[in-house]
Amino acid sequence: LVVPGTTTGVHAHVLLNIKVQASAGELIGREQEHRRTLDRTVQRGLAGTGYLDCNDDDLVGLTDNMKSIWASQLGSMAVWRKTKYSVPIGRDSLNKVTSFCQNASTREAVFERYYSGFGPEVDAAALDLLRTRQELARHLGFKSWAEFQLRPLSVGDPATARQLMDRFYKDSQSTLGPYVRRMETLGESSGAVARGGSRPSGSDGSITSKV
């Protein structure tokens, strides 16, 4: 055991180096533990909890095949059920309902119930991780965790990374612009359908035309 001020025969710069390395190792271990904690809390949120009782009117837009997994295999014999479908609050249900359901109230209910599962513990875990990463980066001589992570890459620093992403964005506008505008139009039209408006149709009479 090397004790500063007590152990003889060890140069001061060696003692300083030992102290720095031990401190960095402690921070690295703390960063890994906080990352695992954040992963666990996020996974619990992604899994979701609880169910939303729905009938066919609540799930307009979803096919019978999509809804069948939420119905009881006993059908009308499942007299204990309040509604025909019991939609589990989870990632799969969120994707289906928000993508296909034309009932705005159902989309809102599923969305809010799902994201309420990401409570204060997720925020706390994320903040713990961010603070430790910032402390570790500064300990190693970097201004931020982003600078530390980017240093081995060709972009080298956050400013260069932002410039690169801006260039990608600008170069993609001529290609992606028409698709983005089409998606916005479809989104506005689908909102009108959910509120009781007319269904948007393409040139072939379908809900959407080929984009």
Query: Which pLDDT value is given to residue 123?
Result: 93
Which phi-psi region, left, alpha or beta, contains residue 153 (left: φ > 0; alpha: ψ -120 to 50)? beta
Mean of pLDDT over the chain = 79
Output 175 or 30, whichever has higher pLDDT.
30
Query: Which pLDDT value is given to residue 204?
Result: 44
Mean pLDDT of 54-76: 84
Mean pLDDT of 145-172: 82
Contact assessment for residue 71 and residue 84, using Cβ atoms and an 8 Å cutoff? yes
Give the distance between the most distant pair of CA atoms in the chain. 89
pTM beyond 0.95 = no
Which of the listed ranges 66-75, 100-109, 173-182, 197-206 does the model predict with the highest average pLDDT? 100-109
* Polymer length of the chain: 211
Query: Which pLDDT value is given to residue 140?
Result: 87
pLDDT at 203 over 50: no
**Distance in angstroms (rounded) separating the CA atoms of residues 134 and 132:** 5
Query: Which pLDDT value is given to residue 200?
Result: 44
Contact assessment for residue 119 and residue 77, using Cβ atoms and an 8 Å cutoff? no
What residue has token string 């993508």? 99
pLDDT at 159 over 80: yes
Contact assessment for residue 137 and residue 148, using Cβ atoms and an 8 Å cutoff? yes
Give per-residue pLDDT as tens, 21-36. 548 888 999 999 999 9
Output 127 or 9, whichever has higher pLDDT.
127
Residues sharing a CB contact under 8 Å with residue 29, sequence separation 6 or more, in sequence order:
none
Give per-residue pLDDT as tens, 92-151. 999 999 999 999 999 999 999 999 888 899 999 999 999 999 999 998 888 999 888 888
**Distance in angstroms (rounded) separating the CA atoms of residues 122 and 44:** 10
